[in-house]
Chains A and B, each alone.
Chain A
Amino acid sequence: MNPRRKKRLLITSLLVTGLAVSIALVLYALQQNIDLFYTPSEIIKGKNETGVKPEIGQRLRIGGMVVPNTVKRDPSNLKVSFDLIDNGGESVTVFFNGILPDLFREGQGIVAQGELINATQINAFEVLAKHDEEYMPPEVSDALKGLDHLKINSNK
């Protein structure tokens, strides 16, 4: 091979290797870090679109309304638990150890990110509440549509 072709081959193979490595890396990182969104009913009955239930141990995001009078605190530390409900009528329990966001209130829509520990319980590592009066994540507002008609023991 003449030196010029050799150089071109070198450059091309470097580029191809680089590209392959980066694609592999991106896909690997993506696979581990995609968190699907579920509503409480979808956790219990399976996703609306596909009917697939989440597996125990899976990382996921969940959005729903905090059921009034279900927020329980551990008196000696920051552990807290509460139930979430959506317009499908099912509810799940979320456990969290940390500081709840400023706008966390009973009867409000929130999103939590965490791991499913059994069929109806989630261990959250992050809890987000909507951050002003007008803003609510669309998926949560969809999940809560018509919730007022459901009979929940609300103190409203």
Chain B
Amino acid sequence: MLAEMGQFALAIACMLAFLQTVYPFYGIYTRQQSAIESAKILTVLQFLFVLLSFLILSYLFLINDFTVAYIATNSNSALPWYYRLSAVWGAHEGSLLLWVFLLSFWSAAVALLSKRLPIESVARVLAVLGLLSLGFYLFVLLTSNPFSRTLPYFPVDGRDLNPLLQDIGLIIHPPMLYMGYVGFSVAFAFAIAALLEGRLDSAWAKWSRPWTMAAWIFLTLGISLGSWWAYSELGWGGWWFWDPVENASLMPWIAGTALIHSLAVSEKRGVFKSWTVLLAISAFSLSLLGTFLVRSGVLVSVHAFASDPARGLFILGFLILVIGGSLLLYAVQASKVKSRGRFELFSRESMLLTNNILLIAALIVVLLGTLLPLVHKEIGLGSISIGEPFFNRIFSVLIVPFSLFLGVGPLVRWKRQSLSELSKPLGSLLILSVVLTVLFLVSFASHFTWLALLGIFLGFWMLCTNCYELYLRATHRFSLLKGLIKLSNSHWAMSLGHAGFAVLVIGITMTQNYSIERDVKLAIGESIAFEHYDFHFDGLQSVQGANYTGNMGIFSVRKDNHLIATLKAEKRIYTVQRMPMTEAAIDAGFTRDLYIAMGEVLPDGAWAVRIYYKPFIRWIWFGPLLMALAGVLMILDRRYRTKPLQERF
């Protein structure tokens, strides 16, 4: 009964989304104030109904109602309660429900938090969001209903959640990622609403900026969580595989990064406005494309789910409708957008333009690498795969100008900057970064490589220029300390965000150049030594979990005869799906991780063991964390809270 109620609530939410689209537009065209004002109420109501539906599905998971097909295939009574909850979004149907739930969450947030915006503009934004929701409700209800029953012959117990997904990282990774994906819909709706209205000014940029930033924060966190999960859970010790589905999340992130920079220019200087609109459309379109790629099963990927052609066709149609429609609108309306304000070749504006060009180049590379195998197969040339080296090589080239400009950009003035004024401090900063790079490599690197030198230099270049910029800005009017306190939140946000990126680059460089990976054969009592560490295989224990059994290998790690860590790596068999899983043991550290994963037991009783030494790998996730924190600081900037907004957007 409850499941039917869940489905019913979903259908009501779908109807409300329809009204939320039609009513405000009707109100705007017939100038009926009450119809315009209904947008907010309809949005909140729609949110409440989808929330109800989501809560019902979660509850059904908690009470193990295996008469529901989706629960029977993705849960099990032996599953701990927190994994039963996360199993709600563990597969196709539920993750789409999560998607549409988050979409209405963002819509409700817009409805409730934009009191200072003119009601007509909010109504347009909400109507666009309603249209998007409507598409997804229809998708869920028509092709992937999470509430369908298995009656009359329902199973006694469920088929269990995929063991790979039974991890703390996977409880939070999908909601974070989806918050980001779906969050770009707000920036998209603002852009479409502005195009419909035919008015794009800096107030528009100002209003859509915090929303875009919020979405970007979630996406950043979601992607890094996914990377951390892959590292700790998949047992390969990698942090990024250029898997098509990872690429699908990276593309909106790159577009979103370009968007938050371009929005800054549009807000402050009133230029790049139509470009910003295009980016807002692209960021969300790429989120949709990502969903299509993941959900339609056209991609061969770790993340691929059992595919159903009807679903793929539906999303493809929706994708064409949304992207085609918005680009058409853009083509018709964008010419009306006039950018005022001129700038010289060497100015903050052109620095940010360079940032955007390089980001778009990176985006195109990822898009090409992801879609080319699909195209190649469809035109009958056979299946191909594009390997990691392709992406790695191109990104290691693109990152060089990107990082160099990132260092210079914040030092350059708006409109015009004389080159001679900057050349001297930049020269000193260059020497300083080289010195720091050499010191760093001498202390932490085991041997010399050019790529490492380049990467670390770029990292320090960004850090040094960043500190210098802070110093300049702080001492501009006050003493250093007072100046630092007086700096605005959004200025700190820029500094912190750029520092986070520098940390990321240093982490990637060290991990990629100085990791040591050994697959070895070890019997109990044997040991292996490398990189000053001695790994000793102490023994084996059997373990028994709620829904798995397994073996636990115990390893002691010594450095100069000092015990550093005892690592317990597990090999589990999940009993319901008969699926083996590797639980790696990791000794995490600020400058290095030690990583052990159990392979298979060999015929003579010894084990194949994977032992990794990964320098600075934590920095890869610490950097994005700083970037996300920077985003939070930016949203908290006074500008977005106190000043009442008079002008329409």
Contact = CB atoms under 8 A, between A and B. Distances in A.
A132 B393 CA distance: 32
Given A37-B383, A131-B302, A77 B521 contact: yes
A122 to B, nearest CB: 15
Interface in A1-21: 7, 10-11, 18
Interface residues of B, number: 43
B426 to A, nearest CB: 20
B339 interface: no
A150 interface: no
Given A99-B599, A132-B162, A134-B306, A30 B386 contact: yes
A36 B381 CA distance: 9
Interface string B332-362: 0000000000000100000000000100010
B382 A47 contact: yes
A13 to B, nearest CB: 13
Given A25-B397, A35-B384, A103 B579 contact: yes
Contacts of A75: 603-604
A34 B390 CA distance: 8
B602 interface: yes
B277 to A, nearest CB: 22
Interface of B: 162, 164, 235, 300, 302, 304-306, 345, 357, 361, 365, 368, 372, 380-387, 389-390, 393-394, 397, 519-521, 577, 579-582, 599-600, 602-604, 608-610
Contact of B581 (A30, A73, A102, A113): A102
Interface centre among B385, B519, B580 (most CB of A within 10 A): B385
Contact of B387 (A35, A132, A139): A35
A99 B384 CA distance: 24
Nearest 9 pairs of A and B residues by beta carbon: A99-B599, A37-B383, A33-B390, A102-B580, A98-B519, A33-B387, A99-B608, A29-B393, A139-B383
A35 B579 contact: no
Contacts of A139: 300, 383
Contact of B382 (A7, A11, A49, A137): A49
Nearest to B603: A73
Given A98-B519, A99-B519, A99-B599, A33 B383 contact: no
Contact of A37 (B162, B380, B384): B384
A34 B384 contact: yes
A152 interface: no
Contact of A135 (B304, B521, B603, B608): B304
Nearest to B610: A99
Contacts of A131: 164, 302
Interface of A: 7, 10-11, 18, 22, 25-26, 29-30, 32-37, 47, 49-50, 61, 73, 75-78, 97-100, 102-103, 113, 131-135, 137-139
A18 B104 CA distance: 43
A32 B389 contact: yes
Given A29-B389, A37-B385, A135-B306, A103 B580 contact: yes
Contacts of A7: 345
B582 A102 contact: yes
A29 B384 CA distance: 15
Contacts of B603: 73, 75
A106 to B, nearest CB: 13
Contacts of A132: 162, 164, 577, 579
Contacts of A30: 372, 386, 390
Contacts of B300: 137-139
Given A50-B382, A132-B162, 15 more contacts: A18-B357, A26-B365, A26-B394, A33-B386, A33-B387, A35-B387, A36-B382, A36-B384, A37-B383, A37-B384, A61-B383, A73-B602, A100-B600, A113-B385, A113-B387
A22 B381 contact: no
A138 B383 CA distance: 10
Contacts of B521: 76-78
Contacts of A100: 599-600, 608
Contacts of B162: 132
Given A22-B361, A77-B521, A99-B600, A29 B390 contact: yes
Nearest to A76: B521
B236 to A, nearest CB: 9
Contacts of B385: 34-35, 37, 61, 113
Nearest to A32: B389
A39 B521 CA distance: 31
A133 B519 contact: no
Contacts of A47: 382
B210 to A, nearest CB: 33
A96 B380 CA distance: 30
Contacts of B382: 36-37, 47, 49-50
19 contacts: A7-B345, A22-B361, A25-B397, A30-B372, A30-B390, A33-B387, A34-B386, A35-B385, A36-B382, A37-B383, A47-B382, A49-B382, A61-B383, A61-B385, A75-B604, A78-B608, A103-B580, A134-B305, A135-B306
Contacts of A135: 304-306
Contacts of A49: 380-382
B164 to A, nearest CB: 7
Contacts of B389: 29, 32-33
A80 B604 CA distance: 14
Nearest to B73: A134
Contacts of B372: 30
B164 A29 contact: no
Contacts of B368: 26
Contacts of B365: 26
A134 B308 CA distance: 13
A145 to B, nearest CB: 15
Nearest to B572: A102
A122 B53 CA distance: 53
B205 to A, nearest CB: 25
A47 B580 CA distance: 35
A75 B415 CA distance: 71
A138 B300 CA distance: 7
Nearest to B393: A29
A37 B373 CA distance: 11
Contacts of B306: 134-135
Contacts of B397: 25
A82 B564 CA distance: 39
B352 to A, nearest CB: 15
A25 B580 contact: no
